[in-house]
Amino acid sequence: MNNKELILETIQKITPLKQEWFETAKKRLDNLTKPLGSLGRLEDLAQKICAIQENDHPTSKNKVIFTLASDHGITEEGISAYPQEVTPQMVFNFINQGAAINVLSKTVNAKVVVVDIGVAQEMPELPGLINKKIRKGTSNFAKEPAMSREEAYQSIATGIALVEEEIKNGVDLIGTGEMGIGNTTPSSAITATITDKKVEQVTGQGTGIPQESLNHKIGVIEIALALHKPNAQDPIDVLSKVGGFEIGGMAGIMLGAAKNRIPVVIDGFISGAAALIAHGLCPTVSEYLIPAHRSSEPGHDAVLKHLGLIPLLDLRMRLGEGTGAALGMFLVEASLKIINEMATFEQAHVSEKVEILIK
């Protein structure tokens, strides 16, 4: 089976969530010792997990955050505050447990799976690093397509395969994360194309570039979009012309997880761009996505609106790595403890609400 066939087969197995599971979960939540709906979005979250897992006692015991690393040829245009060498340096940091994602993942007992899907530097074999390198970074899409159409398929298929491999170890909840100097630029290009927003509306300062550099970044993206004219109705065309290997990989993770009825807690703007690609290929995939937080990157609002998703948190974060996903997992776990561990009125011998009749 080739990469395109794998993607098509995966999409065909993604089915909409069944309303009956939302109703089953709501009935349980409404019988717990609290006023109806008083735990707000935590109750909505519990219902969604029940519907995804098709289980009235859902679990989040086995949690995995995929952190995909890749480089971008567009950095040649001077659109980032950091040099490309930081990508492999941060991969070593992930492996050595020194990064923010390592710290935050431990708070929710989540396993971090670090993947080289396109780091420009040749990486040594290291315990804890999965080598899925497609090639050493994308091409400079200000001058030529970021990747071939086949490489776009390969990046998505790689994400699907990562999920299938991890399922062998048991996984109940997945988070997406990434590392790649310059990757807010392809994310902005993807977002502008698919949401039909102006580039300046969806492009931010990334790792902290000054206003002058931001203006340059916007100009580079505008030139690239005018050059390639990516087709918003063809997600593979968009990904291949202005995307990134880690973005395609995360899109594949979302598709693979949805196929296997596993909830996906997506991180910020770059994960959001990947979600746009996944949604373009299979709109139903959005039903399986849980947006962890609202990134301070301006394009993220456009992404969330396009996907019809409301973030759980708004902490002005813009780090990536899967850090927001780790925090989102905490709320998922809290919602499941509520539905699984709270007592019902009958169990606790607590009187239920009575109807007040006014004559």
End-to-end CA distance of the chain: 72
DSSP string, 19-46: HHHHHHHHHHHHTBSS-TTTTHHHHHHH
Amino acid (1-letter code) at residue 176: T
Please name every residue paired with 173 in a beta bridge, in sequence order, or none if there are none: 63
Question: Distance of CA 314 to CAs 66, 187, 291, Å?
Answer: 22, 20, 11
3-state secondary structure of 86: helix
3-state secondary structure of 198: coil
Catalytic residue chosen out of the listed positions 77, 246, 297, 321:
321
Question: Distance of CA 328 to CAs 62, 263, 319, 325, 346, Å?
Answer: 15, 12, 14, 5, 32
Q: Which run of H or of E encompasses 271? A: helix 269-281
Taking the CB of residue 309, how many other CB atoms lie within 10 A of it?
Answer: 18
Amino acid (1-letter code) at residue 248: G
Question: Distance of CA 17 to CAs 30, 50, 328, 348, Å?
Answer: 21, 10, 21, 32
Asked if 318 contacts 297 with a C-beta cutoff of 8 angstroms, the reply is yes
Say how many CA atoms lie within 13 Å of 88 toward its Cβ: 15
User: 321 an active-site residue?
Assistant: yes
In which residue are the tokens 């693979």 written? 256
Catalytic residues: 321
